[in-house]
Amino acid sequence: MDSLLNQVPIGLSIGAVLLLVALGLTFTFGQMGVVNMAHGEFIMAGGYTAYMLQDWAGSQAVLAALPVAFAVAGALGWVLERLAIRHFYGRPLDTLLLTWGVSLVLQQAARDLFGAPNVQVVAPGWLTGRIEVLGGALPYARLFIMALAVACVAGIWLYLSRSRPGRRMRAVMQNRQLAEVSGVATARVDQLTFFIGSGLAGVAGVALTLIGPVGPSIGTYYIVDAFLVVVAGGLGQLRGAVIAAVALGMLNSYAEFWTDASLAKVIVFAVVIGFLQVRPQGMFVLRSRALT
């Protein structure tokens, strides 16, 4: 019975991973309607950033990499937005295919730059321990990821509700045209949003080095799950994303506990489809009277 309780922290930690990988998407997808398939490769960029920083920061690379990866992935996102995506607003399906092309190129670039085999990021010593929770071991690495997820959510929440650019971002998210006519430079806001959304992917990439491989295909492992979280949570909805990530994490952990990993994935998918039957727009939805 212990192990059943044990799955609670595990579910939370899976949820934290899902949240981190999906968080950036809720903004790029939610605010801008960009289905960014290259989001996974921004995660990858974060992971490789941590790998590169090892030469300089040694075993503390993970910490040092958080801000750097944010900047690196953010910059990649910003460039992508400037060069291509800005021509595609209002055509989400086209952005999906466009960014998939970008993701192919980035993956191959990683293969050529860093080699096809996985690389290793050494976790700092203080992250190697674990605590006993509910009769099971919860590694510090997992706690760190959970804390990071909470910090990211809190940071974004503060940013959106307290800062001027954050409020502009929300304004654009809720009503682009209205924001535009009220003097918000939506193009600037879009750039910033894309920078932040992509940067968050970089942060997620750093976190993932603690639990999994860093390799050219790391992004592909997470991208479908990340989109499921966003879809279930509702577009551009912070609380939706948080709840969806935790719920799917829990579901995943228990489904896998009772069945197996393969079936758990299928169950999660079936539940999301079922959920969309009840709430086709996700958990939370911005009401609009426009006939789209």
Partner 1 sequence: MREPFLRPLAAAVLLPAALLTACGGESGDGAGGGASGGSTIKVGVLHSLSGTMAISEVTVKNSETLAIEEVNAAGGLLGKKVEPVVEDGASDWPTFAQKAQKLIKKDKVATVFGGWTSASRKAMLPVFERNKALLWYPVQYEGLESSPSIFYTGATTNQQIVPGLDYLKEKGKKKLYLVGSDYVFPRTANKIIKAYAKANGMQILGEEYTPLGHTEYSTLVNKIGEAKPDAVFNTLNGDSNVAFFKQLRSAGFDAAKLPVMSVSIAEEEVKGIGIDNIVGQPVAWNYYETTKGRANDTFVKAFKAKYGTGKVTSDPMEAGYNAVHLWAAAVKKAGSTDPEAVKKAAAGLSLDLPEGKVTIDGPTQHVYKTARIGVVRKDGLIDEVWSSKEPIKPDPYLKSYPWAAGLS
Partner 2 sequence: MTAPGTALRSPALRARLRGYALFAAVALLLLVVAPLALPAFRLDELAKYLCFAIAALGIGLAWGQGGMLTLGQGVFFGLGGYAMAMYFKLHDADGDLPDFMVWSGVEKLPALWKPFESPVVAIAAVVAVPVAVAAVLGALVFRQRVRGAYFAILTQALAAAFVILLVGRQGLTGGTNGLTNFYDVFGRDPEAESTQRTMYFVTAAVLGVLYLAARQLVKSRFGRLLVAVRDGEDRVRFLGYNPATVKTVTFAISAGMAGLAGALFVPVVGIISPSLLGVVPSLELVVAVAVGGRYALAGAVLGAVVMNYAKTEFSEQWAGGWLYLQGALFILVMTLAPKGAVGLYEQVKDAVARRRTPERPVPAQSVQGEAA
Partner 3 sequence: MSENEGALLEIRGLEVVFDGFRAIDGVDLTVGQGELRFLIGPNGAGKTTLIDVVTGLTRPAAGTVRFAGTELTGRREHRIVRLGIGRTFQTSVVFEELTVVENLDLAAGFRRPLPALLRQRRGVSGTVAEALDVIGLGDLADRPAGVLSHGQRQWLEIGMLIAQRPRLLLLDEPVAGMSGGERERTGELLTRIAADHTVVVVEHDMEFLRRYASQVTVLHEGKVLVEGDVAAVQADPRVQEVYLGRSREDVR
Give dist(CA 191, CA 169) in Å, integer: 10
Which among partner 1, partner 3, partner 2, none contacts residue 212 (Cβ within 5 to 8 A by kind)?
partner 1
E strands, 73-175, where?
130-133, 136-139
Select the span of 61-69, 85-93, 208-216, 282-290 touching partner 1 (CB under 8 A): 208-216
The answer to whether residue 278 forms part of the interface with partner 3 (CB under 8 A) is: no
CB 21 within 8 A of CB 215: no
**Minimum CB separation from partner 2 for residue 184, in Å?**
24
Helix %, strand %, coil % of the chain (to 5): 75, 5, 20
User: Is the CB of 3 or the CB of 161 nearer to partner 1?
Assistant: 3
User: Is the CB of 164 or the CB of 287 nearer to partner 3?
Assistant: 287
The answer to whether residue 277 forms part of the interface with partner 2 (CB under 8 A) is: yes
Select the span of 63-71, 183-191, 196-204, 248-256 touching partner 1 (CB under 8 A): 248-256
The answer to whether residue 183 forms part of the interface with partner 3 (CB under 8 A) is: no
Give ∠ CA 196-198-202 in degrees, rounded to 5: 105
User: Residue 153: left if φ>0, alpha if ψ -120 to 50, beta else—which one?
Assistant: alpha
Q: How far is CA 18 from the centre of its chain?
A: 7
**Minimum CB separation from partner 3 for residue 174, in Å?**
12
User: Is the CB of 261 or the CB of 290 nearer to partner 3?
Assistant: 290
By CB under 8 A, name the binding residues for partner 3. Answer: 287, 289, 291
